[in-house]
Every structure is written in structure tokens, then in C-alpha cells.
Chain A
Amino acid sequence: MAKEAQQQVSYTVEELVAVNPYNPDILADLENYVNEQVSSQKYSLDANLCLLRLYQCEPERMSPPIVARILIKALMAMPAQDFSLCLFLIPEQVQSEEQFKTLIVLSHYLETARFRLFWDEVAKNRSLLESVPGFQQAIEAYAVHVLSLTYQKVPRAVLAEAINKEGLALDQFLEYHVANSGWAIEKSQGRSQLIVLPPNEFNHPELKKNASDSVSYEHVTRIFPVLS
């Protein structure tokens, strides 16, 4: 029953954002929705942008903990650019507060693929980040994504640094992906392991479909009168 009631609320919030977003009365609902996103590991960028816009219009009602949660969820959405989209709406004075400066630094490290520095900084800010479940996994997924864009075969050490795993934990991680994501492991010239990532159009350019030359259906319909 409680779950149904919860689903009822989130359905209403999404509707509100679509139909009546410029309405200061929905501010409390949107704040609750942020907390719901955190606890049930959901995510809605549009609802969060709507809330940030309302904060923009009424700065005295802004809640720093809520904004921090929105930003952490946005970090977890990488490689999507949600974090900067949120920052565009947050005034400079607010951004210079300590916890936001930390989050901005974390985003900077992720944007520039400085994973070592990123995980070090995370370790120093456990309390801030542990409050959002799923953070670790989300960043690991982003790291794997960037590696998949770049590498056909990636050395074990590079992967280890990117996802902050070593030894047994790393082996378990590899096992999982070999079984489920089409990864393979090779030996590289007597040195350590090489992880072979599944081919995609970014690390195997020959796979790139010449999609830009395909013509959309709507455009073809334009010449139907001529052909008949």
C-alpha cells in the first residue's frame, strides 16, 4: 500500500513538471522528489532542473542539502552533461560554498579522466557521498564507458585505477563482465593482463555505420507526389 502511495506521488510530480512547472507551490513536492530519487535510486533531470529554476527565482527558499543531492545525482549520470546543466542555474555565491566546491572538483576530475585524483578526493569526502546509494557503481559505469570509447585492449593497471579496484575485488569485477558484457582477457607479452573490450563504433571505426547518409522516412515522403 505504501509503495503504491509513493508511486502516486512521483507520477504526480512528473506530471506537474510537464504541465505546470512555473509554479512556486510545487517547490516542496520537488524537494521531496529529490529525496525519493536518492533513496530509491531513480533519477529525473527535468524535475531537478525545474526545482533549480524555482530556487533561481526565489533564492531565499533554496536548500543547500537538496542542491548537493541534485548535483551528486547529476555526477552519477555521466557521461551526460547534467552536472554542468545544473551548475548553469546555481548562482556563483552558492557555488563557492565548501561542499559545492568539492563537488565541482570531483566533476572536473571526471571530465578530464583523472580517475586517481578523483577516487582520492572521494575518500576524503565519504560522508558527503555515502548518503547517495549507487554512487560508486555509477562512477564505475562511467569509467568503463570512457575506456570503451578509447581502448580496444586496455592494460589491467589502467582499468584498476579507473574503477578504484585492486586484487580480489578487481578479479571479481572482471569475472562478472567477462560473463555478462562480452569482455575477454588476454596475456600481453608476458606482462600483466590485457582486457579486451567489446567492439563498438568508437573503438572500432570500421564498425561506424555511415548513418549520416541514410535518409529519413519523412524526407522521402516529400518526393512521393513526384514519383506518382
Chain B
Amino acid sequence: MAAYDADSSAGGDLAYDPNFVPDSVKTFVVHLYRQIRDKNVYEIHQMYEGSFNRLTDRMFRESPWPTAEAVAPYVDGDHVFCLLYREMWFRHVYARLTPTPKQRVESWDNYCSLFGVVLHGVVNMQLPNQWLWDMVDEFVYQFQSYCQYRAKLKNKTEEELQLLRNFDQAWNVYGVLNYLQALVEKSNIIQILEREKEGLEQFTVDNGYDYQGGSNVLKMLGYYSMIGLLRVHCLLGDYRTGLKYMAPIDLSQQGVYTNVIGSHISTIYHYGFANLMLRRYGDAIREFNKMLLYILKYKQYHQKSPQYDQILKKNEQMYALLAVCLSLCPQQKLVDENVSTQLKEKYNDKMTKMQRYDDEASTVYDELFSYGCPKFITPSAPVLDEPLTNYNQEAYRLQLKMFLFEVKQQQLLAGIRSFLKIYSTITVTKLAQFMDVDEATLRTILMTYKHKMHSTDNDGKIVSNADIDFYVDDDTVHVVEAKPTKRFGDYFLRQILKFEEMISELEKVQLD
């Protein structure tokens, strides 16, 4: 795929003229502009997801759309519309072509202008949540892509290096984080969610839309920026702070974040991954399980969607991470049957290997972690004067190393678990003999098991993740199997609501 630079019209079979606006594009922008002005969210969504992609497939598979300057005359030169159009323009280049270094920087400028306008509070539109999510998602994606790009210095031309020197503020990590945080703050989204708990706001019920003639743009960008902040912090390796940003959203419930599938998956994927790195295996397993079950049930409805490939990719990554979690912390009861079947199909052999905790196990952990993990970044600016190297893998290597070190520490626990499954009581001496270690070492192993299987939650409380537990009385180990917890309360609540829904449906039925 050739990189199309607006300056040259060479290359490819189609000579790209950035200023030529085909009739279909003219019609498209005129209609889109009108729908935005009339705040017809449904129509906007149809055009954004449907028409835009159809036109892309027909005419812009291998070249960019006409520039914003070229279409401006058809939309009264509207400044905000052009910013929105340009955002879609760059997103298309990233998705179908390869952005040039200059385009990367220009896209950053466009986001600055666009977010600047929104933060000033002067945007009075209603846009579909899908679009607003895509904006934040793409913003973080392009940041990640730029960090990867500028960390590969070895084969860069002098021109490219000069560009990096001149535009050192582009995609600056402080800038990215500050924009996301500003959107969260300016939109007041945290206060809105708090007030909603007291029944003073209709945010979730209205899916973030404003039915009083106002705008949903700042609010929703603020909401999605919380997820954006979670994602950026995962890329930096700061899992605890990432999770803190998600605190205002109750992930045990449906919410606005579940209504756009992209945002649902991104949230749960990063939340689960952060919990995995925080050793909160139980939480990670629970969330991955829910998400994978959802995808299993509903992915057929998204087959035509432009996000389908992404959905499938994240699906596979989450299975890999789930396999890792379950090998470190066997908790089969937390996993739904259907998900479990899929998991066994994909990873049965590998999970058996991982639970052996030997060197081969390490290789498998490495493989699955590397497949499932996010694309970590090095946030610092590149040093452009020394011998130029590629350091884009450094961040990933660090996280992988830390993870494998943790796995190795848990290697001691391999033998223990199998013995705890068989015995209900056993002396320390005997158990040490069976495991071929001395007594002191065995006591160490028992304490390690306890420490590793209990994690600290955000409030400092100790939570057990163990399926098999024990306590020691002087020199005897007493094994306790965790009782399967029947969640009656939850079950009844769900059934009550379900039946209530059914009854109201039935009451609507008119018999002729």
C-alpha cells in the first residue's frame, strides 16, 4: 500500500487529486452536514457507519478521501464540520493506507483543534455515541502508533528525523494525557455519574443523549475518555492508576459503556488485563468470562460492522489471557460452560503445560502473554543524536519480564496444589517427604501459597482467590475446599426483573 502524500500525485493506478470532489462525496457531505445541523442522530449514524464505508469501499480503497479544504465550500465552510471531517479523513488513512510522518503530525494538530473547540463548550451538536467513541479510541490508537513509529530510529531518513526534531510536541505524552483528563473534568462526567446514583440524573437511561435540546458531545467524550485513560495507563504499565480512572463506572452493571460494542470490549479487555497484572486473578477471570460469553452470543449481529475484525481479534486475545489467569489461579467455577468449551478447544494442551510450572510452562506463558497483551509504549521522547536504534520493544520486554518473574515465583506452588486435592489432613513432615523438600522449605511453600492466593483490593482488604485452602495447626495441615457459593440473591433479582419484563410484554398483547 503506497503512502499517499497530498503533494505528489504519482504512484498507484489512480492519480490522486486531493481537490477533486466526486458527486457522490458532494452529496454525502451536504447531507451529513444538514443532518448534523438538524440533530438527527439516527440519520447521522446511518451516514457515518453506512454511507461512509460504502463510499470508501467503492471509491477510496487505496486513496484518501478529498481533503477538507476541497469539501468545505459545500458545507458553508463550517469550521467544526471540517474538523470532524478531517478526523474521519485521517482515520481512513490509518485504516486503509499508511500515514506519512507529516500526516501523523497533522492528525495530532486536528485533534488539538477539535478537542479545543469541544472543551470551550461551544459545540452544540448531538452525535451518535459510536462516532464519539471512535474518536477517543482512534486518538489513543494514533498515540500508541506514533510512539511505536518514533521508537524505530534505525532506518529513518534524515528528512524523517528532522520532522521528529521540529515537531517534538506532536503526540507528546503529557499532551495526550492532559487532553483526556481535561475532557473528563470539563464534562463533569464524574459528578454526573455520582448524582445518577442518587436518582438526580438520567444519564444512563438516556444513553448519554440530551433530550432537552442540548449537546451530548462533551459529556460523552468525557465519559469515553475515562476508558481512554485506562487504556493509556495500561500502555505505560501503570495499572493501578488506570483502574482508578474507571472507579466512577460500575462494571458489574450494564451502562453506557456497554452500548457501543467497541467501548464495551476495550473496557473489559483493559480492566481484565490490569487486574491480571495486579494479581487479582478472580476479578480478571470474572470479567473476561462475562465479555467472552457476550461476544459468543452476539457477534453474529456485528458481522457487517467495520469493527468486526477488531472484535474477533480482541476475542482471541481475551481467551489467551483467560487461559493464563486460570492456569495461575484455577477457578473453574467462575467460568461459564460455553466459554469453557471454547477455551478448552483453543488452549487445552497449553493450559496443561502451563500448570506444570516447569521450563516448558514458561515458554507457553511467554507465548500467550505476548499474544494477549496490549502494545506497550515508551513515553519518553526519542534521543535523536546517538547511534540510532530501535527501542520500540523495550516497554513490552519489561512487562513480559516482570510477568514471567511472577510466574516463576509461583512455580513453587505446583506440587502443593495436587497434594492438597488428595488429602484432608497431612503432617508437615509427611508432605515435605512427598514433595522431596525439607520441612523448613515446605513451611515456606505453604506461606507462599497463602500469600500469592490472597490479593489486596483497592481498600487494602485481603481477598482470597484460592479454590483450595488450608490452615496449619502446629505441624498438621488441614485442607479446606472452598464451598461453591450459590448466589441466590443475585439469581432472584435477575429472575424478578426478567419476569416483570415478560409480564409487561404479555400485557401489551392484544387478542383479536
Determine whether B168 belongs to the interface, using a CB cutoff of 8 Å to chain A.
no
Between A and B, how many residue pairs show CB distances below 8 Å? 149
Q: Return the 7 tightest CB-CB contacts between A and B, nearest first.
A: A113-B447, A215-B489, A88-B237, A22-B177, A149-B450, A205-B480, A203-B471
Q: With A113-B447, A220-B493 in contact, is A204–B485 under 8 Å at CB?
A: no
B236 & A53 in contact (Cβ 8 Å cutoff): yes
Determine whether B84 belongs to the interface, using a CB cutoff of 8 Å to chain A.
no
State how many residues of chain B have any CB contact under 8 Å with chain A: 63
Contact with B along A46-61 (1 / 0, CB 8 A): 1001100100111100
Q: Which residues, 23 to 41 on A, are CB-close (under 8 Å) to B?
A: 23-24
- Of listed B456, B464, B472, residue having the most chain A CB within 10 A: B472
How close is B329's CB to chain A, nearest CB, in angstroms?
A: 15
Q: With A194-B474, A215-B489 in contact, is A49–B238 under 8 Å at CB?
A: yes
Bound Cα distance from A194 to B244, whole angstroms = 43
Interface size of A as a range: 35 or more
A112 & B490 in contact (Cβ 8 Å cutoff): no
Determine whether B270 belongs to the interface, using a CB cutoff of 8 Å to chain A.
no
Residues on A with C-beta less than 8 A from B493 are 215, 219-220, 222-223
How close is B397's CB to chain A, nearest CB, in angstroms?
A: 7
How close is B123's CB to chain A, nearest CB, in angstroms?
A: 24
Residues on B with C-beta less than 8 A from A85 are 238-240, 278
Q: Which residues, 455 to 494 on B, are CB-close (under 8 Å) to A?
A: 455-456, 460, 462, 464, 469, 471-475, 480, 483, 485-490, 493
Residues on A with C-beta less than 8 A from B178 are 22
A79 & B480 in contact (Cβ 8 Å cutoff): no
Q: Show the binding face of B for A, using Cβ within 8 Å.
A: 173-174, 177-178, 181, 197, 236-241, 244, 250, 277-279, 378-380, 394, 397-399, 401-402, 406, 409, 412, 440, 443-448, 450-452, 454-456, 460, 462, 464, 469, 471-475, 480, 483, 485-490, 493, 496-497, 500
Q: Show the binding face of A for B, using Cβ within 8 Å.
A: 21-24, 45-46, 49-50, 53, 56-59, 79-81, 84-85, 87-89, 91-92, 108, 111-114, 116, 146-147, 149-155, 158, 188, 194, 202-205, 210, 212-215, 218-220, 222-223, 226
How close is A89's CB to chain B, nearest CB, in angstroms?
A: 6
Residues on B with C-beta less than 8 A from A50 are 241
B490 & A23 in contact (Cβ 8 Å cutoff): no
How close is B286's CB to chain A, nearest CB, in angstroms?
A: 11
A46 & B497 in contact (Cβ 8 Å cutoff): no
How close is B492's CB to chain A, nearest CB, in angstroms?
A: 9
B471 & A202 in contact (Cβ 8 Å cutoff): yes
A81 & B455 in contact (Cβ 8 Å cutoff): yes
Residues on B with C-beta less than 8 A from A56 are 236, 378-380
B474 & A88 in contact (Cβ 8 Å cutoff): no
A87 & B402 in contact (Cβ 8 Å cutoff): yes
* Cross-interface CB contact of A88 among B177, B238, B379, B454, cutoff 8 Å: B238
B473 & A57 in contact (Cβ 8 Å cutoff): no
* Cross-interface CB contact of A150 among B236, B460, B471, B489, cutoff 8 Å: B471
Residues on A with C-beta less than 8 A from B401 are 92
Q: With A113-B451, A149-B451, A223-B496 in contact, is A205–B379 under 8 Å at CB?
A: no
B451 & A204 in contact (Cβ 8 Å cutoff): no
Other contacts beyond A45-B240, A202-B454, A215-B490: 16, CB < 8 A: A22-B178, A49-B238, A50-B241, A81-B278, A87-B402, A91-B394, A92-B398, A113-B451, A149-B451, A151-B473, A202-B471, A205-B469, A205-B480, A219-B490, A226-B497, A226-B500
B462 & A79 in contact (Cβ 8 Å cutoff): yes
How close is B428's CB to chain A, nearest CB, in angstroms?
A: 10
Residues on B with C-beta less than 8 A from A114 are 444
B496 & A112 in contact (Cβ 8 Å cutoff): no
Complex A-B: 25 CB contacts under 8 Å:
A22-B174, A45-B240, A49-B241, A56-B236, A57-B380, A58-B380, A80-B456, A81-B456, A84-B402, A87-B402, A89-B237, A92-B401, A111-B409, A112-B409, A113-B444, A114-B444, A150-B446, A150-B471, A202-B464, A203-B471, A213-B485, A214-B489, A215-B489, A219-B489, A223-B493
A80 & B460 in contact (Cβ 8 Å cutoff): yes
Residues on B with C-beta less than 8 A from A53 are 236, 238, 241
Bound Cα distance from A59 to B391, whole angstroms = 14
Bound Cα distance from A147 to B472, whole angstroms = 10
Residues on A with C-beta less than 8 A from B483 are 210
Residue in chain B with minimal CB distance to A110: B451
Residue in chain A with minimal CB distance to B444: A113
Bound Cα distance from A154 to B445, whole angstroms = 15
Bound Cα distance from A72 to B473, whole angstroms = 33
B447 & A146 in contact (Cβ 8 Å cutoff): yes
B380 & A113 in contact (Cβ 8 Å cutoff): no
Bound Cα distance from A158 to B379, whole angstroms = 46
How close is A81's CB to chain B, nearest CB, in angstroms?
A: 6
How close is B502's CB to chain A, nearest CB, in angstroms?
A: 12
How close is A197's CB to chain B, nearest CB, in angstroms?
A: 10
Q: With A56-B380, A202-B450 in contact, is A112–B238 under 8 Å at CB?
A: no
How close is B18's CB to chain A, nearest CB, in angstroms?
A: 36
Q: With A112-B412, A223-B497 in contact, is A150–B485 under 8 Å at CB?
A: no
A81 & B238 in contact (Cβ 8 Å cutoff): no
Residues on B with C-beta less than 8 A from A113 are 443-445, 447-448, 451
* Cross-interface CB contact of A210 among B181, B397, B485, B496, cutoff 8 Å: B485
Bound Cα distance from A172 to B326, whole angstroms = 44
Residue in chain B with minimal CB distance to A117: B444
